């Protein structure tokens, strides 16, 4: 009897089981499900961790992600424009911090902050000019710029930190806005500016087009070099903001401030799901990536994992998220 019924049922209908439904999903649907499962698991782990929702833990999380977050937002623009790995942004953070402390000691913060911003932007623009106008390789140019900045800083600083003559952290960065640290507010402002640029301006549209195909963008009448210079200038300026905030918080500046920021920033960009080959992504995604990495680190810390295990587990999670990203076009 059962065999007779099965003969009447079309094979396709007869094979609809949860497992088969899962098998019929395409790659992007499976990745979306796995992403959702991962985020759900992370949220459960965070909420189940004693002390995670406490004020100090959240304040610490928001402050920590703000500095690297500014660099990551800049890295997002560069990545979407099709130029992977701006390895000079960490050096730009340190150098901008030096500029703001040195300038504020001479002429006050009102002049020092715009000067540091201009410095970061110019450093980015020069790299963007080499990459955009000459099509020089972005990895080589940014590695060389990083070595150049660290090398040039040595005779200026004598490998020592610059200290602010007047205390800076009391007046500015200990302030709170709606209970949030001021660094986080600045980071969110940068994030929104970047997302606005990407979503609602001609520059943002050009960044996506150039990242998708440099030659197609040129054939469409765009000036890809100008877009790339713009993307690197913004990345330099955003990194300078991170440097300024670090300098003001600690009342000193050192080239050690930006060490390792490049890798942390690109990890946030990748975890957020921005395409490393360019042409896709958003600043909001990078914010999500930054939050995921930050939450994982806070949860591990509160769960009593030592720092070495935090490094390892963060690495495994970054690799796991990278494995869930769509295949690269080869």
Binding site for another protein (CB under 8 A): 84-85, 87, 130, 133-137, 139-141, 143-148, 150-152, 154-155, 218, 223, 263, 266-267, 270, 276-277, 306-309, 311-316, 318-320, 322-323, 325, 327-328, 330
- Residue 181's Cβ-count burial label (10 Å; 0-12, 13-18, 19+) is buried
Q: Cβ 270 to another protein, closest distance in Å?
A: 5
DSSP character string of 27-42: HHHHHHHHHHHHHHHH
- Residue 132 or 181: the one with the smaller Cβ distance to another protein is 132
Q: Cβ 223 to another protein, closest distance in Å?
A: 7
- Residue 73 or 130: the one with the smaller Cβ distance to another protein is 130
Phi, psi (rounded to 5 degrees) for 252: -155, 170
As a whole number of angstroms, the distance between CA 136 and CA 130 comes to 6
Rounded alpha-carbon distances, angstroms, from residue 303 to 124, 297, 307, 310, 318: 40, 10, 11, 10, 19
Q: Cβ 106 to another protein, closest distance in Å?
A: 23
Q: Are 142 and 79 in contact (CB under 8 A)?
A: no
- Residue 237 or 269: the one with the smaller Cβ distance to another protein is 269
- Residue 205 or 218: the one with the smaller Cβ distance to another protein is 218
- Residue 16 or 322: the one with the smaller Cβ distance to another protein is 322
Cα 244 to chain centroid distance, Å, stands at 17
Q: Cβ 36 to another protein, closest distance in Å?
A: 20
| 49 C-beta neighbours (distance < 10 Å), count | 17
Q: Cβ 122 to another protein, closest distance in Å?
A: 16
- Residue 26 or 308: the one with the smaller Cβ distance to another protein is 308
Sign of CA dihedral 240, 242, 243, 249: positive
């Amino acid at each position: 009897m059962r065999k007779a019924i099965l003969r009447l049922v079309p094979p396709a209908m007869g094979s609809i089981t949860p497992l088969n439904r899962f098998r019929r999903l395409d790659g992007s649907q499976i990745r979306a499900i796995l992403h959702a499962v991962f985020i759900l698991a992370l949220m459960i782990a965070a909420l189940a961790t004693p002390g995670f929702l406490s004020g100090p833990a959240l304040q610490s999380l928001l402050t920590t992600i703000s500095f690297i977050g500014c660099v990551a937002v800049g890295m997002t623009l560069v990545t979407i424009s099709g130029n992977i790995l701006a390895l000079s942004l960490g050096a730009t953070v340190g150098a901008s911090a030096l500029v703001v402390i040195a300038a504020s000691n001479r002429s006050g913060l009102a002049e020092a902050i715009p000067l540091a911003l201009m410095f970061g932007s110019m450093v980015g623009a020069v790299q963007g000019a080499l990459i955009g106008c000459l099509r020089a390789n972005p990895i080589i140019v940014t590695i060389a710029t990083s070595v150049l900045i660290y090398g040039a800083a040595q005779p200026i600083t004598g490998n020592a930190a610059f200290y602010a003559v007047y205390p800076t952290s009391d007046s500015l960065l200990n302030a709170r806005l709606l209970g949030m640290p001021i660094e986080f507010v600045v980071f969110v402002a940068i994030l929104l500016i970047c997302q606005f640029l990407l979503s609602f301006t001609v520059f943002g549209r050009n960044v996506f087009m150039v990242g998708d195909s440099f030659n197609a963008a040129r054939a469409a009448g765009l000036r890809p070099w100008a877009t790339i210079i713009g993307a690197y200038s913004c990345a330099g300026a955003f990194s300078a903001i991170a440097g300024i905030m670090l300098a003001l918080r600690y009342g000193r500046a050192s080239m050690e401030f930006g060490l390792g920021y490049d890798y942390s920033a690109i990890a946030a960009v990748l975890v957020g799901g921005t395409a490393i080959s360019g042409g896709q992504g958003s600043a909001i995604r990078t914010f999500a990536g930054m939050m995921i990495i930050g939450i994982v680190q806070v949860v591990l810390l509160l769960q009593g994992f030592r720092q070495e295990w935090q490094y390892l587990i963060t690495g495994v999670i970054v690799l796991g998220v990278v494995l869930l990203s769509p295949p690269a076009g080869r």
